[in-house]
Structure 1
Amino acid sequence: MKTIGLVRHHRVTEGYPTKGWISASDIEAWIERYDSSAIDVKPVELGQTDWTICYASSMPRAIQTAESVYEDEIIVTDLLREVPFPTINSRIRLPFLAWAIIGRLVAPFSKRIQAQIKDANQRIEVLLNQLAFENNERVLLVGHGGMMLLMRTALKKRGYTGPRFRHPRNGMLYQFEKSEVRR
């Protein structure tokens, strides 16, 4: 049986912008701070599984999380990097929540955002194809919430079973399994 564990990085200490009305450039500055922010390391329950290998996104928060939960060598890869936060070129000022909602609403119609999602799905396929040829039966992947949503869909298409989630929690294991059919 092949087991893949997904762990979202620990909570980032740089919170969401709360200072009322902000511009698109304020969002971009926040993204830079978020990407380089420290994390709040907490224990992660990895169950009884003895993970044979660990891959982590090349973003610092994922690497630090992987180092806090996995004692052996960690393979750092750009294949697990987060889908960029959708930004809109505009001079208007809105509350952060409004920017987030607008980003979600325009995503299906934005060629740039759709290209980023397509790229992320292609990276996931490359990684899963690579893992299919490896002998490691218990693979731990440490990454980001958006990528975990896409990864879950890709794993389901490949016959894995695992939990449903809409917004993966930081520092929580989501385990997927696939029974190998022997012929």
Structure 2
Amino acid sequence: MLHFRRSSLQIVLMRHGKPKIDTRRRLNASDFGVWVEQYNATGIDAEYPPTRETVAKASQCTFTVCSNLPRSLESARTLGIERIGVCSHMFREMEIPHAAWRFPTLSLQAWLVFFRLAWALGYSANAESFKSAKARARRCAELLASLASTHDTVLFVGHGTLNWFVAGYLRRMGWISADSPPRKYWEHSVFHIRPT
């Protein structure tokens, strides 16, 4: 069977489905670190499935990339993807630091915002540094572009913060998208470039 190359290459950045974990807790910084470990070990909540449009977009892709975190892998299976081309630790979410403080007690969302801001300003206890994470996101973007040059249409079932940085690096590399990076669960954005 003849294979006709697309007029443009395509990368679909998609955020995983909603994780099955309690996000309404109040906790101290030490408990927050435990929560982060639990979050990285949990899968997705079957009560929040992808839309038909999302499943259709995933089915149009010829190659799939996932991180090795359960929420990424389970999302790919929920989308009906039978074969994952790349499953790698490199594509995991950008790590979030945490501390052993026993006080104060804050909402989960407050700790997420606090530690993400602290991380961007240089605090990286129990996590990769901001500089290292950005370098990894650039490598992810480069690998996705390379895979697209071979497979035409690549789906990355990824993570919120990493997708945001990967989208920025893809734009710097000449990829074009009318979409914002995916923020909500199951949301996706499409990047195009003409093959050279």
TM-score bin, normalised by smaller chain: 0.7 to 0.9
Correspondences of 1:80-159 after superposition (within 5 Å): 80-96=91-107, 97-112=109-124, 116-134=129-147, 135-159=150-174
Q: Give the one of 83, 94, 99 matched to 1:73.
A: 83
Equivalence for 1:9: 16
TM-score by length of 2: 0.79
Q: Structure 2 stretches of 5 or more lacking a match?
A: 1-7
- Residues 25 and 17 of structure 1: CA distance in aligned 2, closer, same or farther (over 3 Å): farther
CA RMSD of superposed structures (Å): 2.3
How far, CA to CA, are the matches of 2:110 and 2:192 in structure 1?
A: 38
TM-score by length of 1: 0.84
Equivalence for 1:18: 25
- Residues 117 and 26 of structure 1: CA distance in aligned 2, closer, same or farther (over 3 Å): same
Percent of aligned pairs sharing the same letter: 24
How far, CA to CA, are the matches of 1:33 and 1:132 in structure 2?
A: 32
Structure 1 residues 132-177: Cα deviation after superposition (integer angstroms, max 9, x where no partner): 4441110000111011111111111111122124x61111221111
Instruction: Tell me if structure 2 keeps the 8 A contact 1:88–1:103.
Output: no
Question: How many pairs are equivalent?
Answer: 178
Deviation of residue 95 (structure 1)? 1.2
Does residue 31 of structure 1 match 2:31? no
SS in 2 for 1:112: coil
- Residues 25 and 55 of structure 1: CA distance in aligned 2, closer, same or farther (over 3 Å): same
Instruction: Tell me if structure 2 keeps the 8 A contact 1:83–1:116.
Output: no
Structure 1 residues 97-130: Cα deviation after superposition (integer angstroms, max 9, x where no partner): 3323322332232252795333233223333333
Deviation of residue 43 (structure 1)? 2.5
Instruction: Tell me if structure 1 keeps the 8 A contact 2:18–2:185.
Output: yes
Deviation of residue 34 (structure 1)? 1.6
Query: In terms of mean alpha carbon deviation, does 156-165 or 85-94 score higher?
Result: 85-94
**What residue identity is the alignment partner of 1:33?**
Q
Instruction: Tell me if structure 1 keeps the 8 A contact 2:141–2:166.
Output: no
SS in 2 for 1:3: strand
Q: Which runs of 4+ in 1 moved over 4 A?
A: none
**What residue identity is the alignment partner of 2:138?**
E
- Residues 132 and 171 of structure 1: CA distance in aligned 2, closer, same or farther (over 3 Å): closer
Deviation of residue 70 (structure 1)? 4.3
Q: Structure 1 stretches of 5 or more lacking a match?
A: none
Instruction: Tell me if structure 1 keeps the 8 A contact 2:68–2:91.
Output: yes
How far, CA to CA, are the matches of 2:186 and 2:77 in structure 1?
A: 12
How far, CA to CA, are the matches of 1:43 and 1:119 in structure 2?
A: 32
